[in-house]
Structure 1
Amino acid sequence: MTAELVRGQNHPLSQSRLEIRISAGTPVVAAAALGDENGRIHGTDWVAHPGAPTRPGLEVSRQAAADHRLAVDLDAMTDAVHRVSVLLSLPAPGGVPGPARFGAVAAPFVAVTGLDGDEVASYTITGLEAESAVVALELYRRQGAWKVRAVGQGYAGGLTELLTDQGLPEAVQLAGSIDEAIATGLARSVQAPPPRTPDGDRSRQAAAPAVGPDQGGAVPQGAPGPVPPSYGGQPAGGPGQGGPQPAYGATGAAEPSATAGGPVDYSHPRRQTSAPPPPPPAAPQAPPGQPAQPVAGDATGWSMEERLYNQVWGMFEDLARTTAAYRSAVDFAESRMDKELEQALSDPRNRIGGQGDAARESARARHAQLVGRARESLDRDLAQLVAEAEVVEPALPPAFARWDNPAWHAYRVPMEIPMALRLGDLRLPEAERIRIPMLLRLPLERGLWIDSGRADSVDGSFTDSHDMRRLAMEAAVAHAARLLAVYPAGEFTVHVVDPAGSGTQALAPLTQTGVLAVPPAQGAAGVTEVLGRLTQRVDLVQMALRGGAPDALPPGFDTSQHLLIVNDFPHGFDDRAVNQLRYLADEGPSVGVHLMMVADREESGGYGPLLDPLWRSLLRLTPVPDDHLADPWVGHAWTYEPPLVPPGSQVLHQVLTQVAAARRAWNR
């Protein structure tokens, strides 16, 4: 469980080898200083900085950057070292173009993680104004054990003042050598990080692979950055960056692997990121003192589609970070007020009378002032995000767009698979005006579970069980229709199992347009036939691939991606059918067979632990707004909103009619 610290709070460390991740949103200098039991730095060789990035047990970055990863090995520290302080500073004028004070940028975020990437503690540094250097946090030794403490002590005099306060006699000389190392380091670099406006406008780094929140794993070395949320069946980890599985985390990008011996490739493709992507379009110049005007596609990427994808997740990161900073500031204000009231009223003589009332009023006034300043900062960031959303949303391609986007009216069956698919929207209670598209990478790497058993939505409204089943099936149809629409003709096939026929009305868009390969299977016999056919397909393809002979597949073998929609589970399913479902969920995605379950977890409880691996392997979605998506990056519970087709709209019918026509032409 990640400890989200506030200023002055500490947390024990159970590991000695750690990584400290820094995300500042603007280029900053990262350093680490060793201190004795009194916190004093004994000499310049006790500081790891860009000019001397390695010290015993320490390694820091060589340049100023918006994101850093610092390596710490506490076991390698000498007995004289009792404290490791993480220092951040803004580059001196003439180094990196950017702000001169931390108050002009988003609050820096610092996280301590193990080597496995799991966060131990995190801290959002709020309350900075004129400071240009800050002691972010410190690792300190106490009675033979190490702890981490959130410090957040800022210095308006920059690194020189900070190092002097730490007791370093050569503070001026060392600060000058760090500034020189940054300046010469940037001169050597191939490409400096893109600029960030004082108002917090983002610049995405080219090193970060374009991988969505559904992919788990640690961010590869060389591509630092926050970890996005995961979308798991259970609230995790606290996405994002990330446990909805691990996070809204990125996996290392690699070349798509070709299947030897034939044209069929069932491996999951990755985008190559070895060369720098094309530069994003330049934003229009804003009037002095005003934030830059947002531009659709201002992130890095190989194509406009990839730039928009990265921009959407950049918006997610910005909203997560600014909301975390606001919540942290509010928590700090409340804890400070509680402490002031406790101190003022500890004397019984102050508990009654005018002196006690004055102390209470003073504490509450300071609390209101701190919260008001935090809200002003949040509102400023939200206004910029709202402006960005207003230009990004209309520019999204159909695969990323809502059903009411005009892009669908100009829809044509695509010639290639898009890189991602919109599964709905994400929002936070502090930012009701902003909806962040939830994008899932394609091809699918895991199945979907549409929950038909939740009866309450986050707005307090109640939906009975019959309506929930109907809404869940309509949501499943909308997701399946979008998948059919974004794949080229003949490259995506949908099968439906509806044992009792209860989904007939919701399935009408699929059945009436003719996009299904065969009518929905009904009854126990229909369930057995469909599951047997798809299970056999998985076995056949796996044997061909493991034998290195994909060309040995039968002539005319359908190489498209397959999706099985299962309605009203567990009705019509016996133990053998349940095991086949588990097999499809585990083994199917690697060979292009995917599962979409429409089910109530409680109704399926009779199968006990037999189903637990199945539920864990699926990405849980709901047909009503629900705040179940956990974000281990900053600990938010995001509210998921399903992608609804506007009432009375014919867009679904029109799109599926085109898909069916293209499929018939392809089959001829």
Structure 2
Amino acid sequence: MTAELVRGQNHPLSQARLEIRVSAGKPIVAVATIGDEEGRVRDPERVAHPGAPNLPGLEVPRQAAAVHRLAVDLDALPDAAHRVHVLLALPTGAGGPARFGAVAAPFVAVTGLDGSEVASYTVTGLESETAVVALELYRRQDAWKVRAVGQGYAGGLAELFADQGLPQAHQLAGAINDAVAQGMARSVAAPPSRTADGAGTRQAAPTLSPDHGGSPYGTQTPQGAATGRTGYPGGPAPTEPSVPTDPSLPTDSSALTQPSAPTAGGPIDYTHPRRRNSAPPPPPPTAPPATPGRPSRPVAGDATGWSMDERLYNQVWGMFEDLARATAAYRSAVDFAESRMDKELEQVLSDPRSRIGGQADAAREAARARHAQLVDQARQALDRDVAQLTAEADVVEPALPPAYARWDNPVWHGYRVPMEMPMALRLGDLHLPECAELRIPMLIRLPLERGLWIDSGRAGSPDGSFHDAHDLRRLAMEAAVAHVARLLAVHPAGEFTVYVIDPAGSGAQTLVPLVQSGVLAAPPAIGAAGVADVLGTLTQRVDLVQMAVRGGAADALPPGFDTSHHLVVVNDFPHGFDDRAVTQLRYLADEGPAVGVHLMMVADREDAAAYGPLLDPLWRSLLRLTPVPDDHLADPWVGHAWTYEPSLVPHGSQVLQRVLDQVAAARTKHR
């Protein structure tokens, strides 16, 4: 149950690793300070801010944005740390609002790493303030709590820092404002030019989150997006991360996070924001020498990484971020051109002497001509960047391994069951309306940390095509089968087990490839009894593994216990589900991923409306995908609505059946 705090109220924290999500109507700056028992900040080195975003146990975004994600590990904080303050401030000199009273009240939520909210607070009552202490995490007798503060300062960060006892408060506030100003300028600029070796300066990819009629990768964030990625989906940083990465940290591609800003000059860090290595990875391959007067040819795997798979993964999300930045620059230029033309036309109309006659007509034509010129220049720049990215995509796509490749990629013809799990999986493609021909693979990290929801309830798609309810249900099941087949194909033999719940048997025809090949753990469960049996088995499994892990006795599991990852596919929810089954399903969605039990639902959310808000946490915990192209994914980095297109098997192709047959043969041999 989420605690909705009011000013001054506190709430206990039962988890050490937390995320603090911030959303506001306008770009704001997020800062965190570490204080002593009295709340005093004794040293600028105890302030995490856009210029120095990482401290032990703390990580904040590098840029001003309307959506932020801050990472907190209470166990990793210094021993002398007793308080952590989350500060929000309006950027200076950016042409934005000058006070919090002119923007929507910021919303702050403390969540677990699985996205479940612990406490939330809407910072209301602000007027002339330009900086505010939103939350305080504080320790009392070795227990941590969160308190809603909401203390504002009209003098901005300088006044706030001074109140916390920080030496050189004005200098630090000025440094933060300078870092933010540089980050904001880069966040709307066109992608940087390629270097001589053909590699561009890129950030890690923003994470994507599902937009359920409001804000979105993730979501999220995203593993990507500039996590600020998050959002699928960080910004360029020095090749050696400033803080070593803990490989145990989750890498949820759907999480909403705020992108890290590029570091001017300097090499680029292509590694995932939450993947940290004790030593730098080997350098990427170099591009062939460029012909004088022509750009270097793109090279597949030109990002850094420990393996070619990791290089390609980082390169794909680098392309995603390049396209996001190029499109943001184009849209910003178009908005500026339209605003300028409107202003010029308004000036013409405001003068009664120039409203009529040739002078007014000439002024209007001149304004429209300047508008057309600016838009044309912006379009030329976008077309140049898109052409460059398209050339890179033409090289990268054929080089992708099966886990990242489309079903029509020739790599599937030489498919063999792998010996180890890949780092990511392709769920489909992403594109933007300004350049619909350029598709960027949508990759999600493995193992899955969120369930998947294949939405069978949409009636149309951005391309203008419409589908009736029957067609959508069939297409949704086809998409689910394709995703299941890919998950089975990229895991080693015996490392991924799939159950199917089809209460009414409506998906029997679509499930034929999975059933006939014998890759399912059991025949699809039908009827209420089948639903209860599968959910009961998986719920007991989650309970058993949780008890073993929490008790430090993971080696005490029963002999022959199946340690593989489990996936349950639920078709036509909520048909065939009683209240107990719904509760078990929610439990699996919340607790299952942490112990290797994952959920894929094929459902129309409107069909579940009878349950009211009871199922809202369930839907929010799943990454929503669609069986037809749909612009429901958004990256929180620049706020684009990306069109998602599912990765389906071409009609008439036998590739899926051949792959499933190999998976089944490997499973039989493994047993």
Using structure 2 for the length normalisation, give the TM-score: 0.68
8 Å CA contact retained: 2:488, 2:663? yes
Distance across 2 between alignment mates of 1:430 and 1:233: 20
Q: 1:111 aligns with which of 64, 71, 91?
A: 64
8 Å CA contact retained: 1:585, 1:617? yes
Structure 2 CA distance for partners of 1:291 and 1:448, relative to 1, 3 Å? same
8 Å CA contact retained: 1:451, 1:601? yes
Distance across 2 between alignment mates of 1:584 and 1:114: 29
Structure 2 CA distance for partners of 1:509 and 1:119, relative to 1, 3 Å? farther
Q: 2:217 aligns with which of 220, 236, 239?
A: 239
Structure 2 CA distance for partners of 1:554 and 1:112, relative to 1, 3 Å? closer
1:17 deviates by 4.6
Structure 2 CA distance for partners of 1:71 and 1:344, relative to 1, 3 Å? farther
8 Å CA contact retained: 1:320, 1:634? yes
Structure 2 CA distance for partners of 1:595 and 1:605, relative to 1, 3 Å? same
1:457 deviates by 1.1
Q: 1:70 aligns with which of 51, 72, 78?
A: 51
- 1:64-143 to 2 correspondence within 5 Å? 69-70=50-51, 111=64, 117=70, 137=94
Aligned to 1:587: 591
Aligned to 1:254: 246
8 Å CA contact retained: 2:505, 2:526? yes
Distance across 1 between alignment mates of 2:67 and 2:468: 45
Q: Which amino acid aligns with 1:618?
A: L
- 1:28-427 to 2 correspondence within 5 Å? 69-70=50-51, 111=64, 117=70, 137=94, 145-146=129-130, 197=194, 202-203=199-200, 225=203, 228-232=206-210, 234=212, 237=215, 239=217, 242=220, 247-248=231-232, 253-256=245-248, 271-427=275-431
Aligned to 1:534: 538
1:145 deviates by 4.5
1:136 deviates by 8.1
Distance across 2 between alignment mates of 1:249 and 1:366: 36
8 Å CA contact retained: 2:197, 2:287? no
| 1:260-285 deviation line (CA, Å, top 9, x unaligned) | xxxxxxxxxx8542211110000112
| 1:404-446 deviation line (CA, Å, top 9, x unaligned) | 0000000000000000000000000001111000001001101
Aligned to 2:630: 626
1:350 deviates by 1.2
8 Å CA contact retained: 1:324, 1:634? yes
Aligned to 1:564: 568
Aligned to 2:474: 470
Distance across 2 between alignment mates of 1:236 and 1:199: 42
Q: 1:451 aligns with which of 420, 441, 455?
A: 455
Structure 2 CA distance for partners of 1:2 and 1:378, relative to 1, 3 Å? farther
Distance across 1 between alignment mates of 2:650 and 2:609: 34
SS of equivalent residue, structure 2 residue 474: helix
Distance across 2 between alignment mates of 1:57 and 1:145: 23
SS of equivalent residue, structure 2 residue 489: helix
SS of equivalent residue, structure 1 residue 326: helix
Distance across 2 between alignment mates of 1:513 and 1:451: 26
Greater Cα offset, 231-240 or 138-147 = 138-147
Aligned to 1:132: none
Match status 1:577 vs 2:587: no
8 Å CA contact retained: 1:236, 1:243? no
8 Å CA contact retained: 1:111, 1:119? no
8 Å CA contact retained: 2:404, 2:426? yes
Q: 1:544 aligns with which of 542, 548, 566?
A: 548
Distance across 1 between alignment mates of 2:66 and 2:283: 32
Q: Which amino acid aligns with 2:367?
A: A
Q: 2:558 aligns with which of 554, 557, 570?
A: 554
SS of equivalent residue, structure 1 residue 623: coil
Q: 1:511 aligns with which of 508, 515, 520?
A: 515
Q: 2:484 aligns with which of 474, 480, 495?
A: 480
1:242 deviates by 3.9
8 Å CA contact retained: 1:423, 1:438? yes
Distance across 1 between alignment mates of 2:244 and 2:464: 41
Structure 2 CA distance for partners of 1:359 and 1:280, relative to 1, 3 Å? same
Distance across 1 between alignment mates of 2:668 and 2:492: 13
Q: Which amino acid aligns with 2:231?
A: A
Aligned to 1:65: none
SS of equivalent residue, structure 1 residue 384: helix
| 1:85-111 deviation line (CA, Å, top 9, x unaligned) | xxxxxxxxxxxxxxxxxxxxxxxx963
1:365 deviates by 0.3
**Which of the two has higher C-alpha Rg?**
1
Distance across 2 between alignment mates of 1:615 and 1:578: 12
1:290 deviates by 2.3
Distance across 1 between alignment mates of 2:554 and 2:488: 25
Structure 2 CA distance for partners of 1:409 and 1:334, relative to 1, 3 Å? same
Structure 2 CA distance for partners of 1:305 and 1:462, relative to 1, 3 Å? same
Q: Which amino acid aligns with 2:480?
A: A
Distance across 1 between alignment mates of 2:593 and 2:428: 21
1:249 deviates by 5.1
SS of equivalent residue, structure 1 residue 502: coil
Distance across 2 between alignment mates of 1:614 and 1:427: 28
Structure 1: segments with no counterpart, 5+ residues = 5-10, 20-55, 62-67, 73-108, 124-134, 148-194, 206-224, 258-269
Match status 1:611 vs 2:611: no
Distance across 2 between alignment mates of 1:338 and 1:549: 69
| 1:3-48 deviation line (CA, Å, top 9, x unaligned) | 89xxxxxx696x79589xxxxxxxxxxxxxxxxxxxxxxxxxxxxx
SS of equivalent residue, structure 2 residue 210: coil
1:313 deviates by 0.1
Using structure 1 for the length normalisation, give the TM-score: 0.68
Structure 2 CA distance for partners of 1:368 and 1:575, relative to 1, 3 Å? same
Q: Which amino acid aligns with 1:111?
A: A
1:137 deviates by 3.8
Distance across 1 between alignment mates of 2:538 and 2:567: 10
SS of equivalent residue, structure 1 residue 426: strand
Distance across 1 between alignment mates of 2:660 and 2:631: 31
8 Å CA contact retained: 1:241, 1:633? no
SS of equivalent residue, structure 2 residue 231: coil
8 Å CA contact retained: 1:60, 1:70? no
Count of aligned pairs: 494
| 1:193-233 deviation line (CA, Å, top 9, x unaligned) | xx96369954467xxxxxxxxxxxxxxxxxxx566132336
SS of equivalent residue, structure 1 residue 361: helix
Structure 2 CA distance for partners of 1:503 and 1:585, relative to 1, 3 Å? same
Distance across 2 between alignment mates of 1:535 and 1:141: 52
Q: Which amino acid aligns with 1:547?
A: G
Structure 2: segments with no counterpart, 5+ residues = 1-21, 34-42, 54-61, 71-85, 100-126, 132-191, 235-242, 250-273
Structure 2 CA distance for partners of 1:289 and 1:651, relative to 1, 3 Å? same
